[in-house]
């Protein structure tokens, strides 16, 4: 998405953009998406050129990485509203250069206080709701954590106020941006659901159809909401007028008297209350930590499974991969380690997993225990069983079922001239969230609670991801910061539901084991093995690597158009940056640096 082509340099300045350096600005004032930028003074990478431009301008005006990340995130809430926004939640990982330490914020959504493990079971027939029925309902919306995350990050580590951070995004929402093919497709994919609600169809289906590419999308209600929060603080969102409107939308969905298009399910109200919003609290867990080839890898702990799964898979690869490994061996071990880590993740990891269990899963000893299952010459039969926490050698436990989660999320990576780093993944879950725009407020609500397992998935063993009162659903978001000798070497993250874990892991393997540069590692074709019978892969991955992987027994599921939409920054000698975003996936991303290398 792009801001109005007709905007002049003067009006861009009022929006908070500086127009004299990358991201390059077309003659009409439109930020141009450049997937890679190399230089100094700070760097930003997001999926959207306007958001990257906002974050870059904050850095150039003296703001730090947190200031720029929040301003860019607020802008993504305008231009990428189907993947992010103040109606959702996420996880932020921060490297503090002064303290030389990594910190995290858990801004994941929470279930209502009245939720039980049968929250998604239809009381009429005792069966789980179909996913679409649960998603497009008030039941799926959890108490949002995004706005609280922004405020807390700024209070702890930023230099600018939340009000200042929201102003550029409010101006973009008010003046509008140019609809691109990705934005239009997201509306088209949700047209049937959006058409059920007066507020959603008014904003996203003008004239009864998705907005055409090249038209201008404005959101004056969101602009007003941002300005209200800037004036009155986050209390208006969690305890005041906006909270009332959120609860009203959940408990009384704004169903149109004349819905546009058919919808197969009843639209069920939810039970989220004002007390649930007022009682929302952030968490600050210690990051996960694992060592890989002399590097220290930090990630997000529960309720995200990302840090644990990525760390475990890296440990398995390091423990099992022979020193004489070929490129085929490295891909084979990447896929096998992914399957093993997912088996353990599904069986053991949830919001309330005990710390000793998490510590064991990410230990070198556990990695070696799981690596002993891998045969260099033959792929394991999938699905594999989880490891036995009380066993030794290659002992396994009772196999559980596969579980998945929604695909729509966004990610940004920011670094500043002082060496501070933000890796932030945030979401409203499925593309379009629960598809309900809060009337008069301009933002979509999340359907994050559908990330819970609707019914037990682990046979006779306990399921760690069933709903519960105030509980956070398990996530795969994997914001990751890698240190070398105690200083940042690489930061990366991606959207993509459960494929987030494999996307982050594969970029790391590409960069660290297969000798690719960071831009090459990002652009390379992707395959994802999440302990299923076949590898989910982009066609280019299957075409390029299938001939060497299928003789080992690997099989492929139906191709997918794309996996992930990552952003990353690598830190070079002398304080330099290589900032990267996707060249083509999800329409391509935008990377920029304060002082480009000439």
Rounded-to-10 torsion of CA 9, 13, 19, 23: -120
Q: What average pLDDT score do residues 439-444 get?
A: 98
Q: Using alpha carbons, select from 280, 326, 327 the residue that is nearest to residue 472.
A: 280
Token pair of 222 as six digits: 């969101």
Which pLDDT tens digit goes with each residue over 76-89? Answer: 999 999 999 999 99
Once rounded to an integer, what is the mean pLDDT over residues 485-514? 96
Report the DSSP pairing between strands 421-429 and 89-96: antiparallel
Residue 232 contacts residue 142 (beta carbons within 8 Å): no
Per-residue pLDDT at 528 exceeds 50: yes
Asked if the model's pLDDT at residue 387 lies above 80, the reply is: yes
Q: Average of pLDDT values for 559-575?
A: 95
Question: For the residues 283-304, what does the mean pLDDT come to?
Answer: 98
Could you count the other beta carbons within 10 Å of the beta carbon of residue 159? 12
- For 335-353, the pLDDT digits (tens) are 999 999 999 999 999 999 9
- Please tell me what DSSP assigns to residue 179: -
Specify whether the CB–CB gap between 106 and 282 falls below 8 A: yes
Cα distances from 44 to residues 51, 167, 169, 524, 581, in angstroms, run 9, 19, 16, 21, 9
Cβ–Cβ under 8 Å, residues 568 and 43: no
Q: Which whole-number Å values give the CA distances from 451 to 86, 215, 306, 556, in the listed order?
A: 18, 34, 14, 25
What is residue 21's predicted lDDT score, i.e. its pLDDT? 37
- Write down the pLDDT at residue 597: 82
DSSP summary character for residue 448: G
Q: How far apart are CA 29 and CA 17, in angstroms?
A: 10
Query: What's the pLDDT score for residue 112?
Result: 98
Q: What is the mean pLDDT of residues 218-245?
A: 98
Residue 13, pLDDT score: 37
**Alpha-carbon gap, residue 298 to 452, rounded angstroms:** 25
DSSP state of 443: -
Q: Which single residue is written with the structure tokens 């529960």?
A: 302
Sheet holding 216-217, edge to edge: 2-3, 177-178, 216-217
- pLDDT value of position 15: 38
Give the confidence band of 237 by pLDDT, cuts at 50, 70, 90: very high
Of 71, 82, 24, 75, the C-alpha closest to 177 is 75
Q: Is 409 a catalytic residue?
A: yes
Residue 497: band (very low, low, confident or very high) from pLDDT cuts 50, 70, 90: confident
From 52, 308, 409, 410, active-site residue: 409
Per-residue pLDDT at 569 exceeds 70: yes
Q: What is the pLDDT of residue 405?
A: 56
For 95, which DSSP code? E
pLDDT of residue 18: 35
**Which residues make beta-bridge pairs with 396?**
387
Q: Above 70 in pLDDT, residue 29?
A: no
Question: Quick one: DSSP state of residue 264?
Answer: S
Residue 50 pLDDT exceeds 50: yes
SS3 assignment for 190-242: CHHHHCCEHHHHHHHCHHHCCCCCCCEECCHHHHHHHHHHHHHCCHHHHCCHH
pLDDT on residue 1: 39
* Cα–Cα distance measured from residue 242 to residue 236, given in angstroms and rounded to the nearest whole number: 6
For residue 397, name the pLDDT band (cuts at 50, 70, 90). Answer: confident
Euclidean distance between CA atoms 332 and 514, whole angstroms: 12
Q: Tell me the pLDDT of the chain averaged across its residues.
A: 93
103, containing H or E segment: strand 101-107
Is the pLDDT at 24 greater than 90? The verdict is no
132-188 residue pLDDT tens: 999 999 999 999 999 999 999 999 999 999 999 999 999 999 999 999 999 999 999
Residue 22, pLDDT score:
37
Q: What pLDDT, on a 0 to 100 scale, did the predictor assign at position 401?
A: 61
DSSP three-state, residue 260: coil
Task: Find residue 571's DSSP bridge partners.
Answer: 577
pLDDT at 393: 83
d(CA 594, CA 41): 5
Average pLDDT on 359-386 reads 96
The pLDDT confidence band at residue 409, using thresholds 50, 70 and 90, is confident
């Amino acid at each position: 998405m792009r801001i109005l082509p007709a905007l002049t340099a003067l009006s861009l300045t009022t929006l908070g953009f500086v127009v004299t350096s990358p991201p390059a600005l077309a003659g009409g004032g439109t930020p141009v998406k450049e997937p890679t930028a190399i230089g100094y003074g700070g760097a930003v990478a997001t999926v959207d050129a306007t958001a990257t431009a906002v974050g870059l301008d904050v850095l150039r005006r003296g703001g730090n990485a947190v200031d720029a990340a929040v301003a860019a995130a607020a802008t993504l809430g305008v231009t990428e509203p189907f993947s992010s926004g103040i109606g959702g939640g996420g996880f932020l990982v921060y490297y503090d250069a002064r303290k030389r330490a990594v910190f995290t914020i858990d801004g994941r959504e929470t279930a209502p206080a009245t939720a039980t493990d049968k929250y998604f079971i239809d009381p009429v027939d005792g069966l789980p709701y179909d996913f679409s029925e649960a998603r497009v309902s008030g039941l799926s919306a959890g108490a949002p954590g995004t706005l609280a995350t922004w405020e807390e990050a700024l209070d702890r580590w930023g230099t600018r106020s939340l009000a200042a951070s929201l102003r550029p995004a409010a101006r973009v929402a008010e003046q509008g941006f140019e609809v691109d093919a990705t934005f239009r497709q997201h509306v088209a994919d949700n047209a049937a659901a959006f058409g059920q609600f007066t507020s959603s169809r008014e904003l996203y289906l003008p004239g009864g159809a998705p907005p055409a590419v090249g038209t201008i999308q404005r959101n004056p209600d969101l602009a007003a909401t941002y300005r209200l929060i800037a004036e009155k603080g986050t209390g208006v969102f969690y305890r005041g007028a906006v909270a009332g409107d959120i609860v009203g939308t959940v408990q009384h969905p704004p169903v149109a008297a004349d819905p546009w298009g058919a919808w197969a399910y009843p639209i069920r109200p939810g039970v989220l209350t004002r007390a649930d919003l007022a009682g929302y609290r952030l968490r600050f867990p210690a990051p996960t930590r694992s060592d890989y080839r002399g590097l220290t890898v930090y990630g997000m702990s529960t309720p995200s499974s990302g840090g644990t799964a990525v760390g475990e898979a890296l440990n398995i690869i390091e423990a099992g991969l022979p020193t004489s490994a070929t490129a085929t061996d490295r891909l084979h071990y990447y896929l096998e380690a992914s399957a093993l880590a997912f088996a353990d993740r599904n069986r053991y990891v949830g919001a309330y997993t005990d710390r000793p269990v998490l510590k064991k899963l990410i230990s070198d000893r556990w990695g070696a225990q799981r690596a002993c299952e891998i045969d260099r010459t033959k792929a394991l039969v999938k699905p594999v069983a989880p490891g036995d926490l009380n066993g030794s050698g290659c002992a396994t436990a009772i196999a559980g079922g596969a579980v998945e989660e929604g695909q729509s999320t966004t990610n940004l990576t920011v670094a500043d001239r002082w060496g501070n780093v933000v890796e932030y993944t945030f979401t409203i879950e499925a593309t379009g969230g629960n598809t309900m725009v809060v009337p008069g407020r301009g933002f979509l609500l999340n359907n994050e609670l559908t990330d819970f397992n609707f019914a037990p998935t682990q046979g006779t063993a306990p399921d760690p991801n069933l709903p519960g009162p105030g509980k956070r659903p398990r996530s795969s978001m994997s914001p990751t910061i890698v240190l070398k000798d105690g200083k940042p070497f690489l930061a990366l993250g991606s959207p993509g539901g459960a494929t987030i874990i494999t996307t982050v892991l594969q970029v790391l393997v590409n960069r660290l084991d297969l000798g690719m540069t960071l831009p090459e590692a990002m652009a390379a074709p992707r395959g994802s093995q999440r302990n299923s019978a076949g590898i989910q892969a982009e066609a280019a991955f299957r075409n390029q690597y299938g001939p060497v992987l299928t003789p080992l027994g690997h099989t492929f599921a139906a191709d997918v158009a794309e996996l992930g939409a990552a952003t990353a920054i690598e830190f070079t000698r002398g304080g330099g940056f290589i900032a990267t975003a996707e060249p083509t996936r999800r329409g391509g991303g935008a990377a920029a640096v304060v002082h480009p290398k000439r």
